[in-house]
Amino acid sequence: MGMSQDNLRGFILAFLSSGFIGASFIIKKKGLRRAAAVSGVRAGYGGYAYLLEPLWWLGMVTMIVGEVANFVAYAFAPAILVTPLGALSIIVSAVLAHFMLKEKLHQLGVLGCVMCISGSVIIVIHAPQESPITSVQEIWAMATQQAFLLYLGSVIVLVVLLILYFAPRCGHTNVLVFTGICSLMGSLSVMSVKALGTALKLTFEGKNQLVYLETWFFMFIVATCVIIQMNYLNKALDTFNTAVVSPIYYVMFTSLTIIASVIMFKDWDGQNTGSIISELCGFIAVLCGTILLNSAKDSDRGSSFRGEHAPLSPTLSTGLFSGNRETLKHDEENELSPDDICLRKQEPY
């Protein structure tokens, strides 16, 4: 199947986005670690010393560049094409961690990389062509349809429960709490980013969409979702090993985003069964590759889930996501002084 010009642009932007975001996690994690060592309070326990750490800001700038590219990609291509490509950021992280953090990438990890790339290629080839959108009001009609409102209500209820009930009780011991909040909010942020990006694209083409309140509302939703998503992704990355956070966040975020996109934008309408099955197979290949890639890391998974060893760093993805899209754990963390080890007992992030 041929790829449209818009889908090709979206693919290229998503590919570049993965590179920048993947690199940002390595940089930000080192910055978060350094800030925790200096201040004695990790971000997961309410510490914000990383805001004074230049290395963390360098990672943030790198991530922003990636997220901007990702943002623009959604204006050209459907979420079902752009979002799964976030797995490529994990490959970037794995490779950089191998060289910069001295983490070994075994043959199983290499196989995971190959599966991620193969699955991404399948998704790109069979990605659906989007119906032309001529106004942000068309997107607003999609966002207010009954099916999507039901999804929206479910997400809000789950996020409120996770933040108010589960996070205080088991957020620092169960990796699914923080990553769940990030993933749920991430799916909404992607839908809003898609809407806002399309509105800006139409505006630059001469069809001013800034006169509509819907455009500004989508912008507000994007800002709100991104702030919440990044805050809890920081907590997840600081509390648990990135090798654990990465695949869990990617699987949850990507799955929820595809579900939201299929409901809101009806990505699969007009596609034949074969194309849909191919996309699902490509997505499954990417998921399996992500799991293989992270299972090959030289890290103690058990301690990750208990929160005993905690690295640092985030995304939107993330994503905005990243992003949606995240990285690997850092064995350097084991090379801490006794004072740093004491600090770990009170850190989660």
Residues 152-182 have pLDDT tens digits of: 999 999 999 999 999 999 998 998 999 999 9
Q: What are the residue boundaries of the structural domains of the chain, listed by start?
A: 1-128+273-300, 131-266
Predicted pLDDT of residue 153: 96
Q: Is the pLDDT of residue 184 over 80?
A: yes
Provide the percentage of residues in the chain whose pLDDT is more than 70. Answer: 80
Residue pair 11/81 in contact by the 8 Å Cβ criterion: yes
Bigger pLDDT: 143 or 243?
143
DSSP class of residue 320 equals E
Of the pLDDT bands very low, low, confident and very high (cuts 50, 70, 90), residue 5 is confident
pLDDT at 194: 92
pLDDT at position 255 is 87
Dump pLDDT digits (tens) for 199-219.
999 999 999 999 999 999 999
Q: Would you call the peptide bond into 179 cis, given omega within 30 degrees of 0 as the criterion? A: no
List C-alpha distances in Å: 99 to 103, 112, 231, 275.
7, 18, 28, 38
Q: How confident is the model at residue 340 (pLDDT cuts 50, 70, 90)?
A: very low
Mean residue pLDDT of the chain comes to: 79
E strand intervals along the chain: 318-321
Q: Give the up-direction half-sphere exposure of residue 10: CA atoms within 13 A in the CB hemisphere.
A: 31
How many contiguous H segments (helices) and E segments (strands) does the chain have?
Answer: 14, 1
Torsion angles phi and psi, residue 318, rounded to 5: 40, 125
Of 49 and 215, the structure prediction assigns the larger pLDDT to: 215
Higher pLDDT, 288 or 342: 288
Higher per-residue pLDDT: 118 or 33: 118
**Tens digit of pLDDT for each residue in 227-246?**
999 899 888 988 887 767 87
**Range with top average pLDDT, 30-39, 80-89, 273-282:** 273-282
Out of 19-28, 140-149, 179-188, 330-339, least confident range: 330-339
Query: Distance between CA 43 and CA 235 in Å, rounded?
Result: 6
- pLDDT at residue 129 above 70? yes
pLDDT by residue (tens digit) across 244-301? 787 788 888 888 998 999 899 887 877 788 888 998 999 899 888 877 876 765 443 4
84/251 Cα distance (integer angstroms): 9
Residue whose C-alpha is closest to residue 139's, from 315, 261, 6:
261
For the stretch 40-53, what's the b/e string if a residue is b when 16 or more beta carbons lie within 10 angstroms of its beta carbon? ebbbbbebebbeeb
272-281, 313-322, 329-338: range with highest mean pLDDT: 272-281
pLDDT of residue 67: 81
The pLDDT value recorded for residue 183 is 94
| pLDDT of 59 higher than 80 | yes
Using the predicted structure, report yes or no on whether residue 34 has a pLDDT greater than 50: yes
